[in-house]
Amino acid sequence: MNEKPLILVTGANGQLGMELSELAVTFPQFNFYFTDKSTFPVQDKQAVMTWFIQHKPAYCINCAAYTAVDKAEEPGEIAAAFAVNADAPGYLAAAAAAIKARLIHISTDYVFDGKSDKPYKETDATNPQGVYALSKLKGEEAALQHSRDTIVIRTSWLYGAKGQNFVNTMIRLMQEKDAIGVVNDQFGSPTYAADLARAILQIIQHTESDRQVEGGIFHFCNSGITNWYGFAVLIRDIKQLSCEINPIPTSGFPTRAKRPQYSVLDTDKINRIFGIRPASWEDALRRCIAKH
């Protein structure tokens, strides 16, 4: 009897990794191996190659990342951000290529500068604005270098039921304060990590039935566009909280790292190639908050 394909998940204690572990039971045709920073440090080049050769995964979903966008701007943090976000995807890609496994690597809308006024396509020019963004772009390049099978999925404004994210931060602040200010001049598409996790497993299912399907870059986010203020208002309304929310410009909430003003991703390609049609961000947010 053939063994089930093994899927290695790195960074499994993060938002996306946790959603993948929850969803794994509904994909019994695969074996999963969930790892975190202590059991599978992705920046250890030799250990990564050794593990792949010994265990022969069919897929690796790389959820490991240095995601502290503002902290990454500190001079002492740059090397750490690049080790995980830029170098490690290359080690995983090389190890995957050595045993003909497929790497699925996750990247970000922050590779764009945000000067567009229409959704970004996979082929649009990148122009990262900070250390985290540049490290992620270098990671995409490293991941794609070793095999035409590698799939890079860029996503945006990611949140899940658990973990430190905008949704959970807003709920906490709105419970503590009578009024808050939220930025209303940065536009994007919030993405529920559970929807991204499902999309990734659907892609793997698809590639199992069509092994010739070519890799490359794909965009995935929930559909529709909002700004952080609009996002916060819907969170408040779903949670039935009474906090006053005031729209403020980016200049009223300075951060170390510059964010793109507009980072909506065009998801036509993932729909065309894999038949994945993302749910609206409003529907996704309701499903996420229902799990709180």
Ligand X SMILES: NC(=O)c1ccc[n+]([C@@H]2O[C@H](COP(=O)([O-])OP(=O)(O)OC[C@H]3O[C@@H](n4cnc5c(N)ncnc54)[C@H](OP(=O)(O)O)[C@@H]3O)[C@@H](O)[C@H]2O)c1
Residues taking part in catalysis: 132
Q: Which is nearer to ligand X, 62 or 184 (CB)?
A: 62
Q: Which residues pair with 223 in a beta bridge?
A: 280
Instruction: Name residue, tokens 């975190």.
Output: 36
Instruction: Name residue, tokens 């959704």.
Output: 119
Is 155 near ligand X (CB under 6 A)? Answer: yes
Q: Which is nearer to ligand X, 29 or 169 (CB)?
A: 169
Are residues 134 and 257 in contact, defined by beta-carbon separation less than 8 angstroms? no
Are residues 143 and 86 in contact, defined by beta-carbon separation less than 8 angstroms? no
Q: Choose, by CB under 6 A, the member of 7, 24, 42, 174 that binds ligand X.
A: 42
Is 11 near ligand X (CB under 6 A)? Answer: yes
Comparing C-alpha atoms, which of 204, 14, 239 is closest to residue 103? 204
Q: Choose, by CB under 6 A, the member of 135, 150, 156, 267 that binds ligand X.
A: 156
DSSP assignment of 125-148: PP---SHHHHHHHHHHHHHHSS-T
Minimum distance, C-beta of residue 242 to ligand X, in the bound complex (Å): 27
Q: Which is nearer to ligand X, 211 or 253 (CB)?
A: 253
CA distances from 165 to 23, 100, 264 (A): 20, 35, 19
Q: Choose, by CB under 6 A, the member of 5, 41, 216, 224 that binds ligand X.
A: 41
DSSP 8-state secondary structure symbol assigned to residue 101? -
> What is the x/- site pattern for ligand X, positions 49-78, by CB under 6 A?
--------------xxxxx-----------
Alpha-carbon distance of 221 to 188, in angstroms, equals 9
Is 37 near ligand X (CB under 6 A)? Answer: yes
Is 20 near ligand X (CB under 6 A)? Answer: no
Q: How many CB atoms lie within 10 A of CB 118?
A: 9
At 232, list the tokens: 């916060």
Is 108 near ligand X (CB under 6 A)? Answer: yes
Is 264 near ligand X (CB under 6 A)? Answer: no
Are residues 110 and 96 in contact, defined by beta-carbon separation less than 8 angstroms? no
Is 106 near ligand X (CB under 6 A)? Answer: yes
Is 186 near ligand X (CB under 6 A)? Answer: no
Q: Which is nearer to ligand X, 164 or 246 (CB)?
A: 164
Minimum distance, C-beta of residue 111 to ligand X, in the bound complex (Å): 10
Is 13 near ligand X (CB under 6 A)? Answer: yes
Q: Which residues pair with 31 in a beta bridge?
A: 6
Minimum distance, C-beta of residue 16 to ligand X, in the bound complex (Å): 4
Is 286 near ligand X (CB under 6 A)? Answer: no
Is 158 near ligand X (CB under 6 A)? Answer: yes
Minimum distance, C-beta of residue 151 to ligand X, in the bound complex (Å): 13
Minimum distance, C-beta of residue 237 to ligand X, in the bound complex (Å): 22
If DSSP codes are grouped into helix, strand and coil, which group holds residue 265? strand
Instruction: State the DSSP H helix or E strand holding residue 184, giving kind and residue range, or none if neither.
Output: none
Minimum distance, C-beta of residue 196 to ligand X, in the bound complex (Å): 8
CA distances from 57 to 7, 49, 63, 172, 260 (A): 6, 11, 16, 40, 36
Comparing C-alpha atoms, which of 213, 263, 266, 285 is closest to residue 109? 263
Residue ranges that bind ligand X, judged by CB under 6 A: 10-11, 13-16, 36-37, 40-43, 63-67, 84, 106, 108-109, 136, 155-158, 163
